Amino acid sequence: MCSIIGFAGKSLGREEIMKFFDETISRGPDDTRLLETPSGWLGFHRLAIMGLTDEGMQPFEMDGDILVCNGEIYGFRPIREELSRTYKFVSESDCEILLPLYHIYGTEMFKMLGSEFALIIYDHKSDSLIAARDPIGIRPMFYGYDRGGDIVFASEAKNLEGMVEKIRPFPPGHYYKDGEFVRYIDLTTVDKYSTDDVETACSKIREKLIHSVEERLDADAPLGFLLSGGLDSSLVCAISAKLLGRKIKTFAIGMDEDAIDLKYARTAADHIGADHTEFYMTRDDVIEALPEVIRILGTWDITTIRASMGMYLCCKKIHETTDIRVLMTGEISDELFGYKYTDFAPDDEAFQRESAKRVDELYMYDVLRADRCISTNSMEGRVPFGDTDFVKYVMSLDPAIKRNSYGMGKYLLRHAFEKDHILPDEILWRQKAAFSDAVGHSMVDDLKEYAETVYTDEEFDELSKKYDYRRPFTKESLLYREIFERYYPGQAEMIKDYWMPNKEWEGCDVDDPSARVLSNYGESGK
């Protein structure tokens, strides 16, 4: 994980820029470079993952053009080999292929880059900046306008806080050029559904996910795996262990009282023969970490904050006790295959619309959580379920076969790997449990109880009225919003809304985002 920044003007000098840029030095603690362009600045904090030598340090330059990129260009080696016929590479970095590609394809290259990147190019011919972000927004980028009225791009909102009046998320799947944002790819709009039946679909899901995992195992730095004990992370770990043919290092965390997932993570780890580490957290750990978690996330959303507590503390412990630099994770499966609440979808098209909405908004919720929890601890997250080809294919499937008509959510994904026996049945066919609950139901209860001690009923009524945009509706949500405003005053619109089940559906008009409040939660999380 790295951090990038780009200025289209020179209203700020080097020392002033570094004060803002160093807010994200944890993303790239290995080396820093701030380069002045003819009309602005480009900066790079490096976390060395591919091409570990000094030659892999950015910005990269070519014929007057300059580039910084936070990302991994999976499958870059064949492209590099082809380009090497006419271009002499100086490093083993995957990102060094980008300027040669830009010279050949221009902005058409962005749709070739896949799943995890945010980049800024200084184009010397136009004396301007071009920026782009991956289709889902796995890698973060924000923008705003400085006091000179010039656009500024940066990896995180905290780079821009105090520098620009309004911080805006850079839209995923878009590039910026000549003052306009252009959508270069759309993964969620389906003009015509695939005619693949269940068995064909499962075969392709299996093939595409294995390929995605295999590409993400390519790293020059030490690799680890987050293993919650749920289906998604367990599949990523099991596939990886089989592909690598050796022990992988897996990590899990839970509350010291009632860590539901730790036993399942241990079962999965034992089955695949992993070198498994368990961490524990207490109520005091959670409450103490809360302000810092909200600061690093840059959100006030209840679900994102709850789910980040365990992930942040787990990643912190990994960083403090190991040399791991890359973490594989299981995000994005739910948005594609369904949550507990999508069982209540009234029809196939409603399910599809909800899936498209969730994928399009991932960059504000689960993807944001994973990126910040991992990067603030100086590691890089990789997300196999976010592979562009995989997402495009699953979105194209007829929702009639994706919906839960099987008595088990995410049936297609489970059935795809049923014959492989890479996971025990109690994991492969385990009911979905919400991550924030599964680290221990007590954690969410502790946060709610703590919020009750912060505000009286009268204080809640009075303080919540301050907020016209997405007004807090519980003491817990008010607590999160108040902490958010401390670090990002007036920037609440960076997040579109509270992540909640679709209240328009019967059975989903609930006042808490946890799946525990749904009538179909059943045996989940036990």
Enzyme catalytic residues: 2
Q: How far is CA 391 from CA 336, 356, 443, in A?
A: 7, 10, 32
Q: What's the rounded Cα separation, in Å, for the pair 284 and 304? A: 20
Q: What's the rounded Cα separation, in Å, for the pair 313 and 474? A: 25
> Measuring CA to CA, which residue among 469, 478, 470 is closest to residue 448?
478
Q: What's the rounded Cα separation, in Å, for the pair 67 and 44? A: 10
Rounded to 5°, the CA angle 139-191-195 comes to 105
Residue 39 contacts residue 45 (beta carbons within 8 Å): no
| φ/ψ of residue 49, rounded to 5 | -120, -45
**Which amino acid, one-letter code, is at 107?**
T
> Measuring CA to CA, which residue among 70, 75, 172, 60 is closest to residue 118?
70
> Measuring CA to CA, which residue among 7, 355, 335, 72 is closest to residue 217?
72
Residue 129 contacts residue 377 (beta carbons within 8 Å): no
Helix, strand, coil content of the chain in percent (nearest 5):
45, 15, 40
Beta strands at 65-72 and 116-123: parallel, antiparallel or unpaired = antiparallel
Q: How far is CA 404 from CA 341, 401, 420, 438, in A?
A: 10, 8, 22, 22
**Which two three-digit tokens encode residue 400?**
């009639």
Tallying the residues shown for the chain, one arrives at: 526
Q: What's the rounded Cα separation, in Å, for the pair 188 and 356? A: 5
> Measuring CA to CA, which residue among 120, 166, 147 is closest to residue 12?
147
**Which two three-digit tokens encode residue 191?**
């003009």
Report which secondary-structure segment, H or E, holds 153: strand 151-154
Look at residue 67 and give its three-state secondary structure: strand
Please report where in the chains the tokens 């580039």 appear, as a residue. Answer: 67
